Structure 1
Amino acid sequence: MAESNTRSSNRRQVTRRRALAAGAGLLATGAAGCLGNVSGGTSSGESDGSEDGPVAVASFFSFFDFARKLATDTPVTVKNLVPTGLHGHGWEPNASVTRDIIEADAFIHVGEDFQPWADRAIQTLKDDNVDTQLINVREGVELADLAATLDPDEEGVGQNRGKDPHFWLDPQRAKISVDNITEGLVELAPDHEDTLRENAETYKTDVLETIDSDYQDIFDRADRKVVQLAAHNAFQYIGVRYGVEMRPLVVNLAASGDVKPSDITKAKETIEENDIRYIGNGVFESRKPAKQLLAETQVEAYFPVTPYAGVREEWVENNWGYEEIAYNINMPTFEVVLGNEAPEDVGPDGWAEQWRNFE
């Protein structure tokens, strides 16, 4: 009976993935990794976006997406401050963003010492006694220790020195941020408390729980427990949650930094020892290190991964959020790099062609 239930669960998971992927089409064709300083997406749930109600601005795409889902059927407008095509960690905006925060009713942020520009904006609010409400999505989240692969020069975040800030990659920890955003939006729009709380419970159950289950299925089916990423050190929480070892090539917290020859050497050893044929590469990161591994090792191709820290133009046009990115980008890649599926057998039709060694 247990085996039957497992098969049924797996069928539901595959169906959900394909349903979400079916609308994706050939979305990646011709898109560059960084699309320039284009305006980020906005949403007001199911309202008309006229901004007659309160406005909340978010410093990071994932939490913008959570907030806009919670704001459905309320007058709350939610805006993403990070421009399309840019990674949310390491971006340095101009002064106009601080003005946007000052003019907003609430500022959704990731906690101190993760986005320096957000810290400066918060200090400005405090110094000038601006009454923009602050919503810290990281409050109450238990952070994991920094990975052993991390550059020793990096110490961690705020009062949590030595901790990894990328907690939202774990859907269970992401639930806590949803709760934090919910409390903030309830304070912002108390007349719509019931709707906000109902939306939050629905999102946690229907989206985050399902993503968690589907990720677990992917990693449970894998014989290999090592993933080589030509990407920065943002994926440890996937490893912590699902019992797999992430080997990032760029060993700092942000999507920047040089790749040392010793890092390439270690990656080559990992690839050979684990008979790795496919690796992951950050969507918003350089392709050069991945191409070097293609040229110098048995690796046949790289495919996309993202820590949900930014969006491409076509993702905005198709209204992709955390859920859609999980099912159309990260999950297919993890299926491939773990050896569960051939590239041609995952994702929406044409996925492998779109994303194999993408530019």
Structure 2
Amino acid sequence: MKHNSIDERWSPTLSRRQLVAAAGGAVAGSLAGCVGDDDGDGRVAADDGATVVASFFTFYDFGRKVADGTPVTVENLVPTGLHGHGWDPDPSITRRIIDADAFITVGPGFQPWADRALRTVRDDDAGTSEINAREDIDLLGLAASLDPEEEGVGDSQGKDPHFWLDPHRAKAAVDNIVEGLVAVAPEHESTLRSNAEDVRAELDDIDDEWAEIFDSADRDVVFLAAHNAFQYVGERYGATIQPLVANLAAGNDVPPKARQRAQETIADYDIEYIGAAVFEPRQPARQLRDETDVTAYYPVTPYAGTTEEWVERGWGYVEIARNINMPTFEIVLGVDEPSTEFAENWRNFD
């Protein structure tokens, strides 16, 4: 499986950051160092090993788990509380990418700022290797209502980029990430590959748990007051996931036609509970609750970001699936009523 460096191959030479680290290591090599856990600010503590930065929370999470127990530092570039798709960072983020040994991305076309940063890295001949988490992953086509010249990714656009919501495809991203990390830290290959196997096993468990929820469902149509990010969930488990807006990126504007379609879907399928995106405006969900027979909305997230509380709890993709998305889908699919704690925390959340 190919993992592109900035010059389309893994460079055998050391980056500037690696040379600095090597020089520092010659001085401090006799000092004992410890590799720690996630320190809460999106970084995995390390000694003088390689630094890897990630453009998206999901792949930062996979990267930190694969790198656990090695001197590789994995950093999440997206600030806590922000959605990783629509974010537009300041120039300091590009500097962090230039100074890193590798940059985990979601592939070209998904995050324009990441594409621009990679061009800068090439122009500066910085030596930062790209680890494309999307490499060689089969993508679903866009909804027919979307313009492929305006939305989507892929060689000819027209593809839905949210593949990681399917745990099976997410495992392929882990494969891409471990290969990239092995390339920057080959002396830790055994640990990296062992950790990757553990992450893949976790994703297998998540896949089984999702399948059990959908197999137990009373309905096969779900409505989400969110952007169009859950097509892969519907395709994987044989359900219709109807988003409020068809666009692939989160936004504040909801066209009147989208609201009308939402009201018709809710009425046609006698929908009482809907999902609402954690990192998107809540007003559309409130309006649907007030204007239709919907009685409550509960949280969903495409694993595009994290909250301060989730950071404090050490939650990543797996924990967010089990504690946020799965309980909501059990409710909206008619599998189960919400627990008292979940309802208190998340029913019609602000």
Task: Bin the TM-score by the shorter chain.
Answer: 0.7 to 0.9
Q: Does residue 324 of structure 1 match 2:319? A: yes
Q: Does residue 277 of structure 1 match 2:268? A: no
Any residues of structure 2 matched to 1:14-53 within 5 Å, and which?
Answer: 41-44=41-44, 49-53=45-49
Give the C-alpha shift of residue 51 in structure 1. Answer: 4.0
Give the letter for the 1:261 counterpart: P
Separation (CA, whole Å) in 2 of partners of 1:325 and 1:41: 17
Give the C-alpha shift of residue 149 in structure 1. Answer: 5.2
Distance 1:291 1:223, change over 3 A: same
> What residue in structure 2 maps to residue 286 of structure 1?
281
Distance 1:123 1:314, change over 3 A: same
Q: Does residue 239 of structure 1 match 2:234? A: yes
Q: Does residue 350 of structure 1 match 2:341? A: yes
Distance 1:332 1:100, change over 3 A: same
Q: How many residues align?
A: 312
Q: Does residue 115 of structure 1 match 2:111? A: yes
Residues 255-285 of structure 1: CA deviation (Å, up to 9, x unaligned):
1141111111111111111111000000001
Give the C-alpha shift of residue 163 in structure 1. Answer: 0.5
173, 187, 201: which is aligned to 2:169?
A: 173
Give the C-alpha shift of residue 41 in structure 1. Answer: 3.1
Distance 1:150 1:281, change over 3 A: farther
Separation (CA, whole Å) in 1 of partners of 2:164 and 2:210: 14
- Identity among equivalent positions (%) equals 62
Separation (CA, whole Å) in 1 of partners of 2:151 and 2:225: 22
Give the C-alpha shift of residue 50 in structure 1. Answer: 4.1
- With CA pairs under 8 Å and 6+ residues apart, which has the higher RCO, 1 or 2? 1
> What residue in structure 2 maps to residue 137 of structure 1?
133
Give the C-alpha shift of residue 150 in structure 1. Answer: 4.0
> What residue in structure 2 maps to residue 230 of structure 1?
225
57, 60, 63: which is aligned to 1:64?
A: 60
Give the C-alpha shift of residue 293 in structure 1. Answer: 0.6
> What residue in structure 1 maps to residue 10 of structure 2?
none
Give the C-alpha shift of residue 223 in structure 1. Answer: 2.4
Q: Does residue 213 of structure 1 match 2:208? A: yes
Separation (CA, whole Å) in 2 of partners of 1:82 and 1:327: 22
Give the C-alpha shift of residue 156 in structure 1. Answer: 1.6
> What residue in structure 2 maps to residue 102 of structure 1?
98
Q: Does the 8 Å CA contact 1:149/1:247 hold for their aligned counterparts?
A: no
> What residue in structure 1 maps to residue 155 of structure 2?
159
Give the C-alpha shift of residue 250 in structure 1. Answer: 2.0
Give the C-alpha shift of residue 228 in structure 1. Answer: 0.4
Q: Does the 8 Å CA contact 2:227/2:243 hold for their aligned counterparts?
A: yes
> What residue in structure 2 maps to residue 203 of structure 1?
199
Q: Does the 8 Å CA contact 1:250/1:258 hold for their aligned counterparts?
A: no
Q: Does the 8 Å CA contact 2:151/2:247 hold for their aligned counterparts?
A: no
User: Cα RMSD (Å) of the superposition?
Assistant: 1.5
Separation (CA, whole Å) in 2 of partners of 1:237 and 1:111: 17
Separation (CA, whole Å) in 2 of partners of 1:296 and 1:155: 30
Any residues of structure 2 matched to 1:180-191 within 5 Å, and which?
Answer: 180-191=176-187
Q: Does the 8 Å CA contact 1:40/1:83 hold for their aligned counterparts?
A: no
Q: Does the 8 Å CA contact 2:220/2:240 hold for their aligned counterparts?
A: yes
Distance 1:255 1:195, change over 3 A: same
Give the C-alpha shift of residue 154 in structure 1. Answer: 3.1
Give the C-alpha shift of residue 151 in structure 1. Answer: 6.1
Structure 1: tracts of 5 or more residues without a match: 1-38
Give the C-alpha shift of residue 297 in structure 1. Answer: 0.5
> What residue in structure 2 maps to residue 31 of structure 1?
none
Give the letter for the 1:329 counterpart: I
Give the C-alpha shift of residue 40 in structure 1. Answer: 7.6
Separation (CA, whole Å) in 2 of partners of 1:62 and 1:163: 19
Distance 1:217 1:288, change over 3 A: same
Give the letter for the 1:82 counterpart: V
Distance 1:266 1:147, change over 3 A: same
